[in-house]
A and B are shown apart, each in its own frame.
Chain A
Amino acid sequence: MLQKLVGGLIFSGILFSQTTANPQFSVIGDLVMDQINDSPKLSSSGVEIAIQGNVNPFARADVYLHKHNDESPIELEEAVLTIERGLPLGLGLRLGKFRPDLGRINKVHAHLFPFIEAPTGMKKVLGEEFWAPTGVEANILLPLPWYSNVSVGYFDSGIRGDIHEGEGESHDLEQNHDHNHGEEKQDFALSGRWSHFFDLNDINHIEIGTSGYLGDKNILIGADLKYKWRPNKYKSLTLEVEIFQYACWDDGPEDLYQNNCTGTYYGMVNYQFNKSYNIGVIGEVWVHQEEDEISPALFIGYSPVEESAVFRLKIGQVNHFYLPGEDKIKQDLIVTAQLIWSLGPHKPHRY
């Protein structure tokens, strides 16, 4: 009887403590209007649900679920435990299913892009929804006189982007709802990134990084640079450049050059000129053995109430080239408008 009473008290205590330390819940939804040449299309990518909070004084957990706007079930995007404090040598750990620290862009959720959609070449390499395997990643701040962070991770599956799909279809811009087909079970994957951050002064900052990845049948190296000038709360200029060189093979690294090699690059300039508006340009390049793609675009963002609702417009041209020795064969004019909204603390902010 006494045991039951004590057990009941402990159980009710646990329940009570859980209700007093609820995690933060956020929901992000959107409405997208795409017009490729003359055919407009209204769509929504569904909703992203974020559940975030501290597990204890040393660790936090972040869970991201995505319900696409179709018949597919709710998809687990990320479920990660991050140990932020308490480990020796200033070590940090991430464990679970998450987006590894590979380049700048892989960790960025789509609703944070001022240019609406991830650069095409990056999606072709990393997959439509980017690389989010299950594994463990350690990171450490190096004892240098500036911020210098090294991350190294081991994962159960590697990158498997659109480049591995039917090559003839790779430029089909309407294959938007093929979720996570960018991942395929492999034996292992290793990834790492070394990044540095410099305050040039109070309002000018530079971040540079180099990344590497080794999978069972593929390899990637990357470099990125971000410069930001932010003289006050409502004005900023951001310059961002990122490069990936990617190669994969079927039989072994020796036939690397007989198989799939690609380079993908993007550069962006974004200018926020007052509380509500930003404008920018992005140039994307994807270089492949059989097809190249160069896509310049202009984008505009309008955020009337801080970052809880954002309207974005992008006007761009996709130029497809076939090699070798052939001229431009196809051009698509793409106009995309996006309304994105958020409930809770996880916002489509512009930082």
Chain B
Amino acid sequence: MKKQIILFTLLSFCFGKVRVVTSTTDLADIVKTIGGDRVTVTSIARGNQDPHYVEILPSYMFKVKKADIYFMVGMELDLWAKSIINGSRNRHIDVVDCSIEIEKMEIPTGTVDARMGDIHRFGNPHYWLDPKNGKRIAKLIAEKLTNAEPKSSDLFRQNLDAFNLQLDKAILDWEKRFVNLQGKKLIYYHNSWPYFSNFFGLETVEFLEPKPGITPSPAKLNHIIQRIKSDDIMVIASESYFSDRVPKFIASKTGVKTVKLAQSVGAMEGADSYIHLFETNLKILSQAFGVEHD
């Protein structure tokens, strides 16, 4: 009888985990941190992939088929998730939009149409790049995991508290170590970074894309080159999935430094967790601007 109880307990721990699928690796990393060994988690998009465009593969539907919860970014970033969830025919899945508690930036006003490029009607969806939003996401994830497995609520609460503490410490540390980045002007390839820039005090001067999702035109490149020269801009930063060709062309004309930043966990070496994502990007920018950091 004792053996049976031990076997049952072992089986329930091995096979009774909360099965989670997320749209992005950032959400997956936070789920893993909060859920610990009580969850299995899979991300649909890879860290080095553009989360706007994910090819809907049947194997993704297969992954979602047996999941208990799907965490999506929302705000029309991962519209593809809907097709995957529906294609999975999972009747019981809890689909959670992680943007619901976020203070949204850049909500467009007036008529929104294709003249504005690939614009998001509900605001800029790259909100996980503000570490304070990481705490909001983690809170929501802990609530949903608790709903799915109430018996592990204490564990999820402890992990949430530990995550918040670790993130608060990291934020204090970043604010001290990278204070010299504040007010630095830079050009981004795509408008993925308003939350990041806003939090760390960086000043976004331009984007290489004339409109979101639109390839830089020769006229736009000429304008950027003139702007770099006139405003003494030192850095162009782009997401890891963009080609180097355009930034390097501009660098060859102006001497501006070009860097790639990790837009998601796993996008680049070093960015192997949600907290390391910020650490990696801040170090890259400090080196590019030539400012001191510990």
Residues of A bordering B, CB below 8 Å: 60, 84-87, 90-92, 141, 146-147, 149, 195, 197-199, 202, 205, 207, 230, 232-234, 274-276, 304-306, 308, 343, 351
Contacts and interface: CB of A to CB of B under 8 A. Distances in A.
Given A199-B59, A304-B215, 10 more contacts: A87-B91, A90-B91, A92-B89, A141-B62, A147-B58, A147-B62, A207-B58, A233-B241, A234-B243, A305-B213
B59 A147 contact: yes
Interface residues of B, number: 26
B114 interface: yes
A306 B50 CA distance: 13
Nearest to B55: A351
A87 B243 contact: no
Contact of B53 (A195, A202, A233): A233
Contacts of A87: 89, 91
B58 A197 contact: yes
21 contacts: A60-B86, A84-B86, A84-B89, A85-B91, A91-B89, A141-B62, A141-B65, A141-B88, A141-B89, A147-B62, A149-B58, A195-B58, A197-B62, A205-B59, A230-B55, A233-B50, A274-B243, A275-B215, A305-B214, A306-B213, A351-B56
A304 B89 CA distance: 36
Nearest to A202: B46
Contact of A197 (B59, B65, B88, B89): B59
Contacts of A274: 243
Nearest to A343: B114
Contacts of A84: 86-87, 89
B119 interface: no
A230 B56 CA distance: 12
Given A141-B62, A141-B65, A86 B91 contact: yes
B118 interface: yes
Given A92-B89, A306-B213, A197 B241 contact: no
A90 B89 contact: yes
Contacts of A202: 46
B91 A197 contact: no
B61 interface: yes
B90 to A, nearest CB: 7
A205 B241 contact: no
Nearest to B83: A84
Contacts of A205: 57, 59
A308 B57 contact: no
A60 B57 CA distance: 19
In order of increasing CB-CB distance, the 5 nearest A-B pairs are A197-B58, A84-B86, A147-B62, A90-B89, A147-B58
Nearest to A305: B214
B49 interface: yes
A230 B50 CA distance: 13
Nearest to B56: A351
A60 B48 CA distance: 32
B65 A90 contact: yes
A261 B53 CA distance: 43
Nearest to B245: A274
Contacts of A308: 114
B111 to A, nearest CB: 14
A207 B61 CA distance: 14
Contacts of B86: 60, 84-85
Given A92-B89, A141-B65, A205-B57, A306 B118 contact: yes
B61 A147 contact: yes
Interface in B117-164: 118
Contacts of B87: 84
A153 B149 CA distance: 40
A225 to B, nearest CB: 14
B57 A197 contact: yes
Contacts of A199: 57, 59
